[in-house]
Structure 1
């Protein structure tokens, strides 16, 4: 057994590697255990490479409509393998970047699969047993960071579980890697399918639907709930749906795939339309995007008595489990399952271990973003949730068609919606759909964290011409002072 570490983090996704860096900054002797790729799902199979794919789709979309900008482009085409390779190259660059950050911050990297053999107790360290990886990576493993450690037993005073999540599998929709895909296979197609069925309309499902439709696939989305993007404000989701349908995406809500029959090169889905009828949908490929489930297995948690609930580790607001010295952060600790939530949660966890003054994260102030076309972004309460909470609300709306920058960009279809407490002026929620709204939402996040009221927002000066002016106008509209509509 090596010398005792102060902190051992299991998992090197955004939550894990940020936790390790912050622990090292605080003076803890720190190690991180990873079995496949530094950066985890986000850098290798999620947040980053999907945005690279969507960027290629965005540029291809513009090239298909050059006349809208007074331009001419002929014989526009795409190379599916090159699109995928660009995305993988972005991932490799960031993967290497995480390795550099580990070295810079003197975090030891331990390569293998971790199991907590003994939990820390008081001043006595616990033990993390690391075995050789059993999982075969879908993509070649980048070179290990110089000095990376291997299998063995490692002593730790604090153990942070940051093992992330994997795609949820429903009976009858089991992925086979050929006809039925998870997001793993959907990110590395050998060729673009001519037709696609997407089951699930959360952020993952809608982003892939948008990507593949842009490259010419006939796309159908099936969602069991009444609206797509179920966590979003109903008005914003309805706006996004109209735009997606205008692009040719067929959307069935309140519907369920009851049966999936596979042929040699396609599938036939039997779909209950929720109205007493059924229909069949034939598609070359199916993407199952029905959520994710935490990676809690084979970690020794059951033997230690760590409490879990429906596939996640139960923690308090600072990452502590019911077992002393064992913590959990990120997707494995429950929703919202977002990289930025995981990062912040990890920082709070190790700062609490250090004894620094801190407080649990307010999950109501965590923004959510969907990078389809049009983009969707939100923070705080939806209009329905605000009403359920008993607030007497004021709602402001401002369309992109009233914004000069949006028109100049050729992106006039969008909407900003703000929700205020009519009594106090507190900003309760903000919901946006349109071009680049994932970059705008943070302005409302900062405002909410500063407990800003409508008065401060109204008197803030927004630069012209920018899309951010739509945010200002939405606030003005909530209080009867809108200018440009």
Structure 2
């Protein structure tokens, strides 16, 4: 029996939609399959609920009435989270119009909103209710679900996670006290948003500081900013037990007990691998040290069944949609033609919409030291003297670059300032293209603007070079002295 499709994509998250479009652009026959339970506009648009909420809060932590006025929300709806959700629904509705089912079908993509599973006999196929979809290759882009650790008392205590926290928008009153567990980007982001919405937030992290995988200087400075905004950050606080007593919830971390109205677990994600019958068709996964599932793939994004590829948050790491979409395009080329291509994660930036924003690309200082030893140089530049920072009244800002000492090749960049997620992109391009920091000398920034950052970083590099080569500086000074006569 001949294959019906060139590629069957399973999952309607941004990576899945992008894969289906990319395959169709190559001229392949494509089916996009997702279960009815996954039909949620939030995920399909590529936006997290917190990405929408963050834009309802100004840089000084008050609600942005200009945003709500633009969507003609009636003044009687004063609940801040409800207003944010109403506005967010409008945003997503407009975004979804560009990738609605009718638009995807007009591109020639077969859409199948049914529950299905892989079958092995008579040949590999993806079986839905009335038929089996046979294809030369399959791509898993099913997304993730929150990972909830095993904690005593959790079975009998109600809690929320980073996906269900939106249920608070349906309530009349916000929780006055909220405990958020986790040191991930999602937990940090949610802590600041809900503090600005009016709840007293306690953030519990098991490590010595938030974001333990990131550069410590940036993480500590962001933690200080969180605490300055009112978030209570408790470090080295591994949660061992939760309880609900007389409509109050208690979180036990070491010898400390924290009272709260709501407990939110933002302790990371794990792949949604249940119900697809993967074991039967030879697709393997393993458990990490923290108990999270990870799909096994090779450098070409093939699972242990070479006909089945995977992309996005199924592979682990932070579940950012732009990374998943990049992997989807690589997997599509391998699946349609031959497995020749591998993703290159160098130069792919990511960030958090906190205030100030944090963004990163490339290696941390510790990673660069392990790889290059003393052949690196680190530039640290406080940004509080930027004109735009002064105009906006922003008290915190830091840029940290990791460079090769010999030629100034950029290895890593870490930013903490407003608009960091936009400003990191030119630096990511330098890493992607393996260029020196000298390349940003051609940028002519407007004044005042945050893009003056690039000129400051270039000046810092020039100062570093002068300090390492004092003879050159003395020769220049001698030349000017001679020329003056």
Please indicate the TM-score interval, normalised by the length of the shorter structure.
0.7 to 0.9
Corresponding position: 1:116 with 2:95: no
- Correspondent of 1:447 among 401, 414, 430: 430
CA-to-partner distance for each residue in 1:391-418, whole Å, 9 max, x for gaps?
Answer: 3221112223111122222324211111
Counterparts in 2 of 1:102 and 1:355: CA distance versus 1, 3 Å: same
Counterparts in 2 of 1:279 and 1:48: CA distance versus 1, 3 Å: closer
Which deviates the most, 242-251 or 185-194?
185-194
Counterparts in 2 of 1:258 and 1:463: CA distance versus 1, 3 Å: same
Corresponding position: 1:266 with 2:248: yes
Tell me if the contact between 2:361 and 2:413 (Cα under 8 Å) persists in the aligned partners: yes
State how far apart, in whole Å, the 1-side matches of 2:44 and 2:29 are.
25
Q: CA deviation at 1:37?
A: 4.2
State how far apart, in whole Å, the 2-side matches of 1:279 and 1:152 are.
56
Q: CA deviation at 1:264?
A: 4.6
Tell me if the contact between 1:116 and 1:129 (Cα under 8 Å) persists in the aligned partners: yes
Q: CA deviation at 1:77?
A: 6.4
Q: What residue is the counterpart of 1:138 in the other structure?
A: none
Corresponding position: 1:185 with 2:187: no
TM (norm. structure 1) is 0.84
Tell me if the contact between 1:225 and 1:255 (Cα under 8 Å) persists in the aligned partners: yes
Q: What residue is the counterpart of 1:411 in the other structure?
A: 394
Q: CA deviation at 1:291?
A: 0.7
Q: What residue is the counterpart of 1:167 in the other structure?
A: 146
- Correspondent of 2:134 among 152, 155, 161: 155
Q: CA deviation at 1:224?
A: 0.8
- Contiguous gaps of at least 5 residues in structure 2: 67-76, 288-292, 466-485
Which structure has the larger Rg?
2
RMSD value over aligned CA atoms? 2.9
Counterparts in 2 of 1:152 and 1:95: CA distance versus 1, 3 Å: farther
User: Aligned residue pairs: how many?
Assistant: 445
Q: CA deviation at 1:373?
A: 1.6
CA-to-partner distance for each residue in 1:119-154, whole Å, 9 max, x for gaps?
Answer: 8xxxx96311124xxxxxxxxxxxxxxxxxxx5322
Q: What residue is the counterpart of 1:467 in the other structure?
A: 450
TM (norm. structure 2) is 0.84
Counterparts in 2 of 1:307 and 1:79: CA distance versus 1, 3 Å: closer
State how far apart, in whole Å, the 1-side matches of 2:343 and 2:227 are.
37
Q: What residue is the counterpart of 2:69 in the other structure?
A: none
Q: CA deviation at 1:197?
A: 0.4
Counterparts in 2 of 1:313 and 1:289: CA distance versus 1, 3 Å: same
Counterparts in 2 of 1:48 and 1:228: CA distance versus 1, 3 Å: same
Q: CA deviation at 1:187?
A: 2.2
Q: What residue is the counterpart of 1:477 in the other structure?
A: 460
Counterparts in 2 of 1:379 and 1:160: CA distance versus 1, 3 Å: same
- Correspondent of 1:399 among 382, 399, 415: 382
Q: What residue is the counterpart of 1:223 in the other structure?
A: 205
State how far apart, in whole Å, the 2-side matches of 1:230 and 1:452 are.
28
CA-to-partner distance for each residue in 1:91-112, whole Å, 9 max, x for gaps?
Answer: 3443444224412321111012
Counterparts in 2 of 1:82 and 1:6: CA distance versus 1, 3 Å: same
Counterparts in 2 of 1:268 and 1:63: CA distance versus 1, 3 Å: closer
- Contiguous gaps of at least 5 residues in structure 1: 67-75, 132-150, 273-277
Q: What residue is the counterpart of 1:80 in the other structure?
A: 81
Tell me if the contact between 1:416 and 1:471 (Cα under 8 Å) persists in the aligned partners: no
Tell me if the contact between 1:193 and 1:285 (Cα under 8 Å) persists in the aligned partners: yes
Q: CA deviation at 1:475?
A: 3.7
